[in-house]
Amino acid sequence: MFNIQEELKKLPDQPGVYIMHDARDAIIYIGKAVSLRKRVHQYFQASHDEGIKKAQMVKQIVRFEYIITDSELEALVLECNLIKEHRPKYNTMLRDDKTYPYIRVTLGEDFPRVLFSRQQKKDKSRYFGPYTSAGAVKDTIEMINKLYGLRTCNRNLPKDTGKERPCLNYHIHQCDAPCQAYISKEAYRERVDEALEFLNGNYSGIIKSLEQKI
């Protein structure tokens, strides 16, 4: 028999994804954590206010499982993919928007961007999703842009190259300013391809090398 209090003691202080099950063993909620130990413990602390809906969910939890990841970024992407696959009841109820979000990679551009999208259009972009956690999608996009040094501006490149000064991201070393031709189209596209591999779930060995750059 699954003893929640005993299993809480075994949780590691590592990033990962946790999966909550009800009495029928159905998955009712999936979340990510920087520290599995701290985050999962919070659900079962009487003094911690998770809100009415989450309080209702906690009453239904009979057991939980978890998957350890190498980083918070890997946990974010894994959480998105698992939510998409299982569509847990409470992830849907607690989502912060009415429509499901996508991650959009604008491959039709010479210097593609990774964007948040509420719809899947018939264009040259590559879409990942739909997901039920808008917050996780936004966090994933932000971290991917940071790790791979992808641009977040809406400049028309290469047409607008050199017309304006590079933005703050260049000065804080989060973008190599394709707007100034400081990085070639080919070198930039290599980074986009790595980001695509990551979003496809092929992130073994990629994360550690990238985290060394942060």
Instruction: Tell me the per-residue pLDDT of 95-137, one tens digit each, with 9 for 90 and over.
Output: 544 567 899 999 999 999 999 998 888 899 999 887 767 888 8
CATH code, domain carrying 28: 3.40.1440.10
Task: Give the domain range for residue 16.
Answer: 4-93
In the prediction, which pLDDT does 135 show?
Answer: 82
Q: Within this chain, do residues 149 and 83 fall inside the same structural domain, yes or no?
A: no
In the prediction, which pLDDT does 206 show?
Answer: 55
Q: Within this chain, do residues 57 and 108 fall inside the same structural domain, yes or no?
A: no
Q: Within this chain, do residues 112 and 86 fall inside the same structural domain, yes or no?
A: no
In the prediction, which pLDDT does 193 show?
Answer: 93
In the prediction, which pLDDT does 209 show?
Answer: 47
Q: Which residues of 87-124 are buried (b: 16+ CB within 10 A; e: fewer)?
A: ebbbbeebbeeeebbbbbbbeeeebbbbeebeeeeeee
**Are 127 and 102 contacting, i.e. CB atoms less than 8 angstroms apart?**
yes
Note if the pTM is more than 0.85.
no
Q: Within this chain, do residues 76 and 111 fall inside the same structural domain, yes or no?
A: no
In the prediction, which pLDDT does 15 show?
Answer: 94
Q: Within this chain, do residues 123 and 196 fall inside the same structural domain, yes or no?
A: yes
Q: How many domains does the chain have?
A: 2
**Polymer length of the chain:** 214
Q: Within this chain, do residues 124 and 199 fall inside the same structural domain, yes or no?
A: yes
Q: Within this chain, do residues 147 and 86 fall inside the same structural domain, yes or no?
A: no
In the prediction, which pLDDT does 67 show?
Answer: 97
Q: Within this chain, do residues 81 and 167 fall inside the same structural domain, yes or no?
A: no
Other Cβ atoms within 10 Å of 179 Cβ, number:
24
**Residue ranges in the chain whose pLDDT is less than 50:** 96-97, 205, 209, 211, 214
Q: Within this chain, do residues 109 and 206 fall inside the same structural domain, yes or no?
A: yes
Q: Within this chain, do residues 84 and 121 fall inside the same structural domain, yes or no?
A: no
Q: Within this chain, do residues 73 and 108 fall inside the same structural domain, yes or no?
A: no
In the prediction, which pLDDT does 97 show?
Answer: 44
